Each structure stands twice: as C-alpha cells, then as structure tokens.
Chain A
C-alpha cells in the first residue's frame, strides 16, 4: 500500500517537474511546481516525516509559490515567443549535460551503506512523537544553526526590500 502510494505520487511529482520545464507560460510552470511540491509532501509523509510535510505545504507550496505567482502577475508576463519552442544549439547542449548529470547521480545507488543508524527509532517516535523529538534536537543540539537561520531570514527580508525598492 505504501509502495503503491509512493509510485503514484512519484509519477505525479515527475509529471509536475516536466510541466515546469515544458510549459510556455510562467504561471502554468508555477502551478505545475505546486503540484510537484504537494506530491513530494505526501512522499515525506510516507517516510514518516510529518513535520516536514506540514512545513513543505505551508512554506513551499504556500508562501514561496505565492511569492512567485505574485511576481509573475506583478510583471504581467506573457508566454514566451517562438524562439523558446525550437531545439536550438544551446538547448540541445543543455539537454545533453542534464542527461549526463542524471546518469552520474544514479551511480551512488550501487554503493553500500555503513549500517550505522541514529537515535530516531520507531520506538522513540512512538514514545515522544515526531514533532517533539525534532523540537528537542532543534532547540538543543542544533540551537546555534537555528539562530543563524533566523539571522539569515532577517538578512533576506531586508535585502529583498532594499533591492526591490524604487530608489535607494
């Protein structure tokens, strides 16, 4: 059952990704990307990453994509012209490079894992719950990276406003 669901949502995710790169209109690409992100969220759920699923839906499929759609509508973009449809030299080269990279990415599948495991066992998750378990790590061992991320978000916020402002 889990495997069947995984295959269904994997196919949906790949279909959405293909839609992102094939759609002429940016808004159609954005909608395809939302589909991919929701499908990936379900796959996170199948991997027992409930908190990541919620964050994926709220931050990625919600906030980031809303920002993208806002900018597309703000700039009033039309579908790309004729040059986009033809297979030109640079485009064929890009496809070739992408294919080579894809083949390269599949090589590590043959590698063997060391067999070392961490402390997030099913037993621990059942005992404390996955959100509480992650929170314990995030606000304990990983407190410094967490604070650095909050600084980064502040810097991103200030930077975005400064760059997009009419006059500096």
Chain B
C-alpha cells in the first residue's frame, strides 16, 4: 500500500513552516542553524516522496546533493558561530549588529 503523495507533501509543508517559525522567533544562532537544517529536511522529504511517486531516481539523487550541501553549510555555519563567540562573546543573533546603520 502506497502513502498518498499529499500526505508526505503536507508533512513536508508543516516541517518547513516550523523551521521558518523557528528562524523568525529564536535568537540563538545555533538554534537558527538547526531550524535551517529542519527546512532542508522538509524539502528532502518532498523530493523523496516525488521520487517514489514518479518512479524517478533524480529525486533521490538530489537528496544526496542537498545532504552534502547541508553538511558543508553546517560546518561553515558552526565555524562562524565559534569565531563570533570568540570575538564578541555572544551567540544571540540580535546582539550582533555591527552592520546596523
């Protein structure tokens, strides 16, 4: 028995929305990065669901590329957090306002 495509897409939309809400409401930069990972995961889910329903391997291959890009993004993002914590002693996004006019 197959999972209806609309179920997977709805779950994907819910997870993506939760990720966006997290990015817009939290202050901690590490939590923001985790919410970005959550959004990437939501998109991966819709890729996999479409790959299954359209019987196409491309969806799953794109998921592999997205995971690789997400790994690189997490490494660079966390390095920025470490550097930020070292120079400004904060991990809160609203306290980093060097570029604010």
Contact = CB atoms under 8 A, between A and B. Distances in A.
Interface of A: 1-3, 6, 10, 13-14, 17-18, 20-21, 26, 29-30, 33, 36-37, 40, 43-44, 46-49, 51-52, 55-56, 59-60, 63-64, 67-68, 71-72, 74-75, 77, 80, 83-84, 90-91, 93-95, 97-99, 101-102, 105-106, 108-109, 113, 116-122, 133-134, 137-138, 142, 145, 149, 152-153, 155-157, 159-164, 166
Main secondary structure of the interface of A (DSSP, over half): helix
B82 A37 contact: no
Contacts of A52: 44, 48, 60, 63-64
Contacts of B37: 33, 60, 64
Contacts of A18: 18
Interface residues of B, number: 71
Nearest to B49: A47
Given A20-B38, A52-B60, A119-B57, A72 B68 contact: no
Interface string B52-94: 1111111011011101111111111011111101100001100
